[in-house]
Structure 1
Amino acid sequence: MLSLKRIWLDKDKKTYNQWLELMKKSSLNPTKEQIDYSVGIFDDDKLVATGSYEGKILKCLAVCKDYQSENLLTQILVHLLEKMRAEGVNHFLVYTKPENEDLFTSLGFHKIIGNDLIIFMEQGFPDFNDYEKLLESKKVNLNTTASGIVMNANPFTRGHQYLIETAASQSEHVYVFVLSEDKSYFSTKDRVAMVELGVAHLDNVTVLPTADYIVSSATFPSYFLKDEAELDIARKQASLDAKLFKDRIAKTLNITKRFVGEEPYSAVTEIYNESMRQVFGNELELVVLPRIDVGGNVISATKVRTAIKENDYILLGEFLPTTTYNYLKEHKEL
């Protein structure tokens, strides 16, 4: 007899092993996934279907091949959505295979973007239409072509400033998207503030949020795992993230160029740059600028965070613009 119940992956080793096997048979790799809640459907003691979520993101959805005619995935999804709503979540996001689109559509989801391998869908509010309206409200001129930059700015360095200043000198307008995801050393509020202070002298720059739609846990979770991420998975995620930027966001703001810094340190970020080049093709120009250095020492936010911990004020003075240095000092980070 089939029964649905919560599963505790960190406490029940037997169930965890069944869950892991079901993930593998479904071509899913969950070993690095962050999970808040999981549920399973059991045939006696055998796990035959499962699903999980983290925050607003549905994930690790799988049904045993022998039970795929039983409509178990719908039961899993209905349970998870009810549980999430009870916790105050009103916006739901999911990556899924194209063959699952009809099922998710029947549950109120709609597709944001997709390719032959994967689609990105959502339900609830605020949704991508609301994000597009925000972008439209920040658009400087209907006829202005612009450039785009996406950065975490953790924290905002002279390297970030150089990237923006270069783009601003070569563009009518520049939209700088600062990652909204709060998974970094510095909070989203602090990172946005440091960017805004660092570009205040540039009249043709607008700072924008990424929400859930650019390099987020929904579109590109591997970014936040960095060296722990599976590179093949990161490549698939990066391609879809780049496609969403090209097909939806860039078109909304008349963005014709995207500026990035070359990436000598992070394999995941380099894969992202490669994926953008492939996805953008001739439709959107990708401009890759070399990293700037001080005395042969390449500027990076990672080195800045280390210098903060080690009280290396000489390096901080060399790597940080005055605006960031003063902000961190004012907020007692230095």
Structure 2
Amino acid sequence: MSDYMEETGDPFTGKKKEELKKFLEYMGLTYDEQITHSIVLRKEKEIIATASCQKNIIKCVAVSEAYQGQNLLAHLMTSLIEYFYGMGISHFFGFTKPQNKELFCSMGMYPVAQTEKILLLENDKNGLEKFLKRLKKETQEQQKCKVENRHENGIGAVVMNCNPFTRGHEYLIREAAKKNKWLHIFILSEEQSFLTTRERYQLVKEGIQEIPNVILHQTSEYMISPAVFPTYFIKEKAKAYEMNCQLDIQLFGECIAPELKITDRYVGSEPVCDVTHTYNQCLREQLPCYQIRFHEIPRKTYGDQIISASEVRKKYAENQLKSVCGMLPESTWRYLERKKNENGK
């Protein structure tokens, strides 16, 4: 590799970022603004290859056609893997076009799920199997100290961010729990601003203690948050989000639901956020293909206002948390008050 110079950015900014964006555009890709780390290889100041990641998700990998077949991809992947291990990341994923499958597999990646337009890979050959075993073990352990709803036969599921856990989330869970023998609650594990994954999980756990037939899980990367859906290699940007929804729903319908015998999935109605509304529509259309019933529950209101976690975050930032106290269960309210005081807000 003596002919090439390697540069890294966490991420790149300014002129170097613009150069990377232009190279990716030339290669038919779009720079992903959520990137946290990038590697570029240059020859005589020109970018000839690149790879990036968003935390533990590999994105925006490209090698100039004139330099393909020279093991540049192997060099990029080795550098990325060294970066992951240096950051304490041992499990990582990649999204790409299905036609790149052989190339990525030759670099030690293993397919997880594939649609016509998108391929999801990971570096652990048995990663998905381990995740499904974990879900089953969590289910069996929690059922020992829970009580099933003997009046119903279905097994329900809800997937939530809960950033933070509100009375709207609580209402959706209670309504779904009434209609099922058991209800699985999946808390998206992607780290977000405001509350950490651990904080969100704990607030949900405290908020649902009185509901006897619920089972709580963290999702791992096999249940994908809309925030990390890749679009950088999809030319039809208007349809990109729907394509990613298809991948997420396929993983749920083919792998997760059968393992837990899930028959029904519940969402809250979404009158505000277009992204969530689109995802709900995809669920409505595609879940029946996997013999899973879809249910949309009207959002709970506080006075004449729809209960919204984003509104709670906004009022917290403005030091007006008391104005939305009615949107929060007691346990969430107490935690946010304590957090605010500790931060000196």
Give TM-score, length-normalised by structure 2. 0.84
Residue 305 (structure 1) aligns with: 313
1:60 Cα deviation after fit: 1.1
Deviations 1:61-89 (A, max 9, x none): 01223333444323322332233334433
Distance 2:288 2:189 in 1: 27
Deviations 1:84-140 (A, max 9, x none): 334433112100111221122222211111111111110149932221111010234
Residue 146 (structure 2) aligns with: none
Q: Does 1:157 align with 2:178?
A: no
1:164 Cα deviation after fit: 0.2
Alignment length (residue pairs): 323
| Residues 72-221 of structure 1 aligned to structure 2 (within 5 Å) | 72-124=72-124, 127-140=127-140, 145-216=154-225, 220-221=227-228
Counterpart residue type for residue 91 of structure 1: H
Structure 1 residues 125 and 319, CA, compared in 2 at 3 Å: closer, same or farther?
Answer: farther
Deviations 1:198-218 (A, max 9, x none): 1111110011101122234xx
Unpaired runs of 5+ residues, structure 1, are 224-229
Distance 1:192 1:231 in 2: 33
- Greater shift after overlay, 42-51 or 79-88? 79-88
Q: 2:293 aligns with which of 261, 285, 296?
A: 285
- Greater shift after overlay, 92-101 or 267-276? 267-276
Counterpart residue type for residue 117 of structure 1: K
Residue 258 (structure 2) aligns with: 251
Counterpart residue type for residue 147 of structure 1: G
CA contact (8 A) 2:32 2:60 kept: no
Deviations 1:236-265 (A, max 9, x none): 322212221221111111111110111122
Structure 1 residues 200 and 86, CA, compared in 2 at 3 Å: closer, same or farther?
Answer: closer
Distance 1:287 1:59 in 2: 34
1:273 Cα deviation after fit: 1.3
Structure 1 residues 236 and 155, CA, compared in 2 at 3 Å: closer, same or farther?
Answer: same
- Greater shift after overlay, 167-176 or 268-277? 268-277
Give TM-score, length-normalised by structure 1. 0.86
Structure 1 residues 309 and 35, CA, compared in 2 at 3 Å: closer, same or farther?
Answer: closer
Measured on the aligned residues, the alpha-carbon RMSD in Å equals 2.7
Distance 1:16 1:329 in 2: 40
Residue 329 (structure 1) aligns with: 337
SS in structure 1 of the partner of residue 264 of structure 2: strand
Residue 243 (structure 2) aligns with: 236
Residue 7 (structure 2) aligns with: 6
**Percent identity of equivalent pairs:** 30
Structure 1 residues 160 and 272, CA, compared in 2 at 3 Å: closer, same or farther?
Answer: same
CA contact (8 A) 2:257 2:263 kept: yes
Distance 1:103 1:192 in 2: 37
CA contact (8 A) 1:146 1:173 kept: yes
Counterpart residue type for residue 315 of structure 2: A
Residue 27 (structure 1) aligns with: 28
Distance 2:315 2:13 in 1: 39
SS in structure 2 of the partner of residue 139 of structure 1: helix
Counterpart residue type for residue 10 of structure 1: F
Distance 1:126 1:302 in 2: 36
